[in-house]
A and B are shown apart, each in its own frame.
Chain A
């Protein structure tokens, strides 16, 4: 029979599902899958503080992205601004309720929930409090992470801008820059921390509390 500690020392590649045994890493070395070279794990010194800093920055830039004008266009004197308020309003006005609800969840509610719950859980983990809530939030994150589509929205924005390029003068707003920042931060966060590392930290911090 295999003990808990031995199970903890195993890792399965997310891409090809090959079973690996963890080996101690030195310095900044990374462990890659033997089959498909996907990153398995790396060392995370200062995991919580580093991630918390990134998440707070991401929260600020996400707020700016949702609050200010993304782009404004000018077609022969006619001006129009694109921001989130206008997005919801126009969808309602055209009676696009199904698309509207899907859109609001994918672009607005899920990204906000992800950033919000990351903030709460990291702060709780930093203060070593409330293991139950931390666990719930980690599970919630695993469920909604595939559904956040801010990056796809940004690409769509670029496509729409190219389509309008011939007819209209386009001006970039504050929120456009904020979107770029949010995306860069999102890439840094997903590149630098793995959720497996967060779960391991959770075990490390609350291990004794959980057994009681």
Chain B
């Protein structure tokens, strides 16, 4: 018998559960609480890789195509930010830069760090890692700003002479945000705290 008692927080109803090291259901909402955290680990990793792959076309393909009397001009995310910066709208350029470049990159780095820390049992503060994951979840959806802006512009600038059309980059970007969010959601916070799951390597 283990002398130490483990507690876990149900990710659905937030109830405190007794973690007996087996598959069981939450005592309040009966959602399953899995014992095998390797599934969570690999799901997070798989979705993260998908998101990173999608990040490439999201940045290379144009997110916005504008047609002015037959002349088509395309702009990527970075191109759009540069354009805004040159035009002097610094606050908007900064918002887009943070929301669509920094936030996804930060999310990638945070999740990679958390996964590595779990796998190699890095001795960093447990509380800090929980806070890091909390931030990762909170900032995630904000990268959608750029896609929404393009959609709104494409509705408003929709005349016979001048048109704004969302490009292929917008699709890739929206999917990228979707997969980073799923990746963060499939990360089980118990991966951070539990010592007994440091045997992850052996289970592969």
A11 to chain B, nearest CB (A): 6
Closest to B16 in A: A10
- Decide if B16 touches A98 in the complex (CB within 8 Å): no
A14 CA to B89 CA in the complex, in Å? 38
* Contacts A15-B130, A96-B171, A152-B144; A138 near B29 (Cβ below 8 A): yes
Closest to A136 in B: B29
Q: Does B71 contact A (CB under 8 A)?
A: no
Contact with A along B1-40 (1 / 0, CB 8 A): 0000101110111111110000000011101000000000
- Decide if B174 touches A142 in the complex (CB within 8 Å): no
Closest to A101 in B: B174
Q: Does B153 contact A (CB under 8 A)?
A: yes
Q: Does B134 contact A (CB under 8 A)?
A: yes
Pick the interface stretch among B41-49, B113-121, B158-166, B195-203.
Answer: B158-166
Q: Does A7 contact B (CB under 8 A)?
A: yes
What's the count of A-B pairs with C-beta under 8 Å? Answer: 158
Overall SS of chain A's interface: helix
A12 CA to B126 CA in the complex, in Å? 14
A130 to chain B, nearest CB (A): 16
A201 to chain B, nearest CB (A): 12
* Contacts A36-B131, A99-B170, A199-B29; A152 near B145 (Cβ below 8 A): yes
**Number of residues from A at the complex interface, CB < 8 A:** 57
Q: Which chain A residues (85-138) contact chain B, with CB distance < 8 Å?
A: 86-87, 90-91, 94, 96, 98-99, 102-103, 106-107, 135, 138
- Decide if B137 touches A156 in the complex (CB within 8 Å): no
- Decide if B156 touches A160 in the complex (CB within 8 Å): yes
Tell me which residues across on chain A come within 8 A of B134, comparing CB atoms: 14-16
Tell me which residues across on chain B come within 8 A of A11, comparing CB atoms: 16
A196 CA to B7 CA in the complex, in Å? 17
Q: Does A157 contact B (CB under 8 A)?
A: yes
Q: Does A19 contact B (CB under 8 A)?
A: yes
User: What are some 15 contacts across the A-B interface (CB < 8 A)?
Assistant: A14-B14, A17-B126, A17-B130, A36-B127, A87-B155, A96-B171, A135-B29, A139-B12, A142-B12, A146-B137, A152-B141, A159-B149, A160-B156, A163-B89, A199-B15
Residues of A within 8 A of B (CB): 2, 4, 7-8, 10-12, 14-19, 35-36, 71, 73, 75, 78, 80, 82, 86-87, 90-91, 94, 96, 98-99, 102-103, 106-107, 135, 138-139, 142-143, 146-147, 149, 152-153, 155-157, 159-160, 162-164, 168, 194-196, 199, 203
Per CB-CB distance, the 8 closest pairs between chain A and chain B, nearest first, are: A156-B148, A12-B9, A10-B16, A160-B152, A196-B14, A142-B12, A17-B130, A16-B127
